[in-house]
Amino acid sequence: MTTQLQFSRRTLGKTNIMVTPIGLGMMEFSGGGSGMIGSAFPAIDQAEKNATVKAALDGGINWFDTAELYGGGTSEASLSKALKAAGKTDQDVIVATKWWPLLRTARNIPITIHDRIRYLDGFSISLYMVHQPFSFSTPEAEMNAMADLVEAGKIRSVGISNFNAEQMRRAHKALQKRGLPLAVNQVRYSLVDRSIEKNGILDTARELGVTIIAYTPLGSGLLTGKYHKNPELLKQKHFFWRSRMQGNIERSRKLVETMEAIGSNYGATPAQVALNWLISFNGDSVVTIPGATKVKQADESAGAMHFKLSDAELSQLDELSKVF
């Protein structure tokens, strides 16, 4: 497999922010932090985090996705330290993070942005998203608060996460009134979760010029194939992830076997084939953020940009995964 990048960078929506089709998700860097997500992952040594981020950078990845929810600042601070250890400056990378809306109003957005800036410690927020559509405020109020942050120079662009089609339209319209684009909607999307193709989210995003950021692109590890080979490994997963995967191992077996066969043509793993399908099947409208806890995983994710599946292979995987 060639080490030359095969994919051009893509804009986030109608902004001028350019990212590689694959970024690195930072949820796994939450371990040891506060809250449910902080307890869902084991703590990772900062030296290992540094090496993992460097592997992503060396593989061509130029952006990183984190959030307030990811350990209450633990992930953000860890990312900043890792980028500095790799010798990167703010101009070298794109950082996305998210505001947690539960039990809050839009008035909290300008208050907690200072925490995000403090934890990121010198790395600016290129993309700031509302993490969920559940708050005490309307999407319009949230978007207006976000627009205020853009105008104040605290963030570069605005996005949403887990919003349905109608909520996405409302957010887009509110920002449009402020002269800003809605950059992204970050949603779950993979070969084993294609619901956004059926519920209007993908079609609406295309219509509005909003980029889809696909999270959980490997189905919580299901698409790596390791659980098909050794189902006992599933017992080692945290219940949060295990509950999402149970029942789908046999349903996805033929798909994973096909990905293994296709991957052999490129010297690629099933996981790399799954990521390549995500960033290819819908053209430039989808980017993705696989997570990583170790160097090998970051290197593998970056490597998914180093080959291109054929139209026939894309279609074959499309057919086999339509059951999802």
Catalytic residues: 70
Please compute Rg for the chain using Cα positions.
Answer: 19
> Per DSSP, what are the bridge partners of residue 125?
155
Cα Dmax for the chain: 53
Backbone angles phi, psi at 194, to 5 degrees: -110, 25
- How far does Cα 34 stand from its chain's mean position? 21
Q: How far apart are CA 242 and CA 248, in angstroms?
A: 11
Instruction: Determine the residue type at 118.
Output: R
Instruction: Determine the residue type at 172.
Output: H
Contact 128, 94 (CB under 8 A): no
Contact 205, 159 (CB under 8 A): no
